[in-house]
Structure 1
Amino acid sequence: MAGVDNRALSVMYNGSFLATPGVPAGSTPIWTDFFLTPDNRLLNRTGTVWGSGIAAVGNVQYNTSNGDWTLGVATTSNGVGVIYNGNWLPTPGVPSGSKPVWSDFFLTPDNRLINRTGTVWGTGVATVGRVGYNNSGDWTLGVTTTSNGVGVIYNGNWLPTPGVPSGSKPVWSDFFLTPDNRLINRTGTVWGTGIATVGAVQFDNSGNWTLGVSTTSGGVGVLYNGNWLPISGVPSGSTPVWSDFFLTPDHRLMNRQGTSWAGGIAVVGAVQDNNATGDWTVGLKTDHC
């Protein structure tokens, strides 16, 4: 039927496929085995419904030590909500039309960064990157401002960004991608040059981070704690997804060593990464029915 997306859906857990009996065709993978259905329900692969009337979602705060998760959403009625471990929390301080960012953080129509109770973490915020977060509760977020500047917020306090030029894009934690394609932190430490795009960071409980990138020359790379790791088998033109995973031009999901986890993949959701055990889960949409 015209207008209906009948591409198959699946969930991968540590490289093995899991069935998705409760997920209707046309759903979009969000995070772990969560999907957003065409009729605006948020559900997992077995069909457990976490919410209805969901228009958009932010990034999940996931605590790898105990499994707790928090997700901000925008609703089809132009409202907002926060789901914590499947339970809805009140959002008395968040105005209608706000955009979910991460955990219970929202970006308001008047460019304030606030949490669900209305605590203001920043004003004049135009865009945000991905939050760097650890299980101690510390968080770091790079932002761009409405005055074309940049900033970094650490646990609600603004940090100086002396090494970041105007026009840079926040990536993760205090990392930015500059207009001249350098990946730098807020103090100007250069992690890489010739960077075109970046994937999502894998960050473990020991503070190690892994980031896949694509380069301006059409190649790919992986950074681990600022050091470049060798790549084997990943074709040029691949898109970084998460950690050292890439989506190739011929729709294979593979790691930097060329191990192919799946073929026929069109869309990849956000990975649930439990670094305490090394387990990972991701929702997928294939390019076939």
Structure 2
Amino acid sequence: MQKAKLTLKTSPEHKTVIQLSDRASVGGQELLIIGGPCSVENQNQMEIIANRLATAPVQALRGGVYKPRTSPYDFQGMGLEGLKVLDAVRDRYGMPVFSEVMAISQIEEISAHVDVLQVGSRNMQNFDLLKALGQVNKPVLLKRGLAATLEEFVMAAEYILSYGNPNVILCERGIRSFDSYTRNVLDLGAVAALKQITHLPIVVDPSHAAGKRELVADLARAAVACGADGIMVECHPEPEKSISDARQTLSLEEMIALVRSLEPIAAAVGKTIPPGSGVVPQLALV
């Protein structure tokens, strides 16, 4: 990793803290909790989720509007209409939102509606996309590739930093293995190693690692215990009816219970869970 001039730590104290909003940050003492559905489905769905999670406390929302699906016949996302939904929910609840960008042509449109641009595992080494995101004034959450080594992961982040964007959040989401019981193998050893190697914040996505909702909470707690700066968890008002990733999605009640269970673990590793936005307007269902 000698060529990683910008991502490597220069001292044990060297760390980057990224401010996502007036209330939410990642990389410091506060544990960032991101919740929401795999896919934005409609305004009502996101209103219900934000209303429940704002005081959970969950600090940020996730929701896909452009979806990289294995089959071209599966739901591909709401596109611009989904971005408008995220924009409205962000304004009403004061919560920063994360959403995936799949192509250079989508960057300008997505940047106008979300706070953090997410690069999915399939695009971790899409170098032209990484270069373009290096020129954007928005934080980028970079997911580890399906079979990427730590050096490849760090060097992908280096692309973004080298083109001018210092605000990169690494995300461990599991790597592919011979064992099919879980969707992927969550590499928590990589989280501990990356905390020593790089100054960038590291978030863990236990939902995509597990592929089964009954495993998500335990993996999330383990991620916090090993030093992750945050977690990203899929949740939905009616998980079984989720358009995508239903099997790994928590109910809102399960999500809230998970957050509460993290408090003593966060305290044990020197982190705190900040309050959510605290903004809970009357539900505006349509």
**Higher Rg of the two aligned structures:** 1
Greater relative contact order structure (CA < 8 Å, 6+ sep): 2
**Same fold judged by TM-score > 0.5?**
no
Structure holding more strand per residue: 1
TM-score (norm 2): 0.32
Structure holding more helix per residue: 2
TM-score (norm 1): 0.32
